[in-house]
Chains A and B, each alone.
Chain A
């Protein structure tokens, strides 16, 4: 595939999956609320149009530059995350030989950007959302690093394509069963959904987005969906063998697996309650992090 075709595929993948998540959200919510969904396929587009029609809001003396940059950067990071994922053994947009390290950088910069988004508005609810997001976003990052390093052991490489190739025998989800669930928690945290929605939840009136309206909000909400897509694509590649699979061509497998992971992620974000940030911080450090240690030991012993 030429670079052009590859880029086109990447754009289609990003937009398509974001739309798919939005639709899934609507359907799942309707099912949970015990009512019939409303124009499930088109609703995301309608909402986009509404946000675009809204006037973009300002606050008293905001940090305007960072306020406008944060959504854009967030979307950009999500884009690079998807670009790391190979569609097939030969077709990868960014064949970086330290792919999972770049992914780590994406996680770190996401925390910075969400903080900036909440800080820049100069409003108390935005600040509360931003600060408690940092408290959770930082430690969750450690878990995902351990989990990704565990997948790099059998592959003897930090490159995502090599990690995929190392799963020709067994998928990592079989060899390292705890890895995928832990990584999905990271996904919820990176796009602050459901039990990890400490940034933009309703108890702080929308948190970092409480003062945002119009196009900036549209970009922000899209970036959240795009980031979730990136997480799912990476999870599908690193744990579910990405493009590997019988019968269908590689890209199709990637799409199917990503869609499946997204289904699980959306489900989790609707099914789980959120605990107070203080207790979540304790839970991550004292339960989830040691669990990821054990996971790494298990993976290490298995790899030898």
Chain B
């Protein structure tokens, strides 16, 4: 069965990669000292942790993207029966792309495809 095959491959590679990292870490005896752990900032030391409430400059784009993604999900089964259904499916796609295009145009007009 294809799924089990894919999952086996996934599992094997992940396990192997983790093992490699573990073995390599074991092989070297030297400990990572505190001064080595300081994140690289060109020689400077940070004042705080880097983990912050990171201001995502494209947040509206991600919301539009999610809606897009949902629409896309209908298109895969549609694609399979496209030739069988013929013109009806073509009209279907027309409506689809129309909706998506309106979405893009609106987002573009509101300027959400830029860093805000």
Contact = CB atoms under 8 A, between A and B. Distances in A.
A and B touch in the complex (CB under 8 A): yes
A131 B54 contact: yes
A83 B28 CA distance: 34
Label chain A's interface by main secondary structure: helix
A215 B83 contact: no
A293 B50 CA distance: 40
A297 interface: yes
A277 B20 CA distance: 34
Contacts of A300: 82, 89-90, 93
A215 B13 CA distance: 15
Nearest to B41: A124
Contact of A101 (B61, B76, B81): B76
Given A158-B79, A215-B25, A282-B113, A296 B18 contact: no
Interface in B75-89: 75-76, 79-84, 86-87, 89
Contacts of B23: 215
Interface string B38-49: 111110001001
Interface string A98-117: 10111000000000000000
Interface residues of B, number: 63
A255 interface: no
B37 A286 contact: no
Interface of B: 2-3, 5-6, 9-11, 13-14, 17-18, 20-21, 23-25, 28, 30, 32, 36-42, 46, 49-52, 54, 56-58, 61-62, 65, 68-69, 72, 75-76, 79-84, 86-87, 89-90, 93, 97, 100-101, 104, 107-108, 113-115
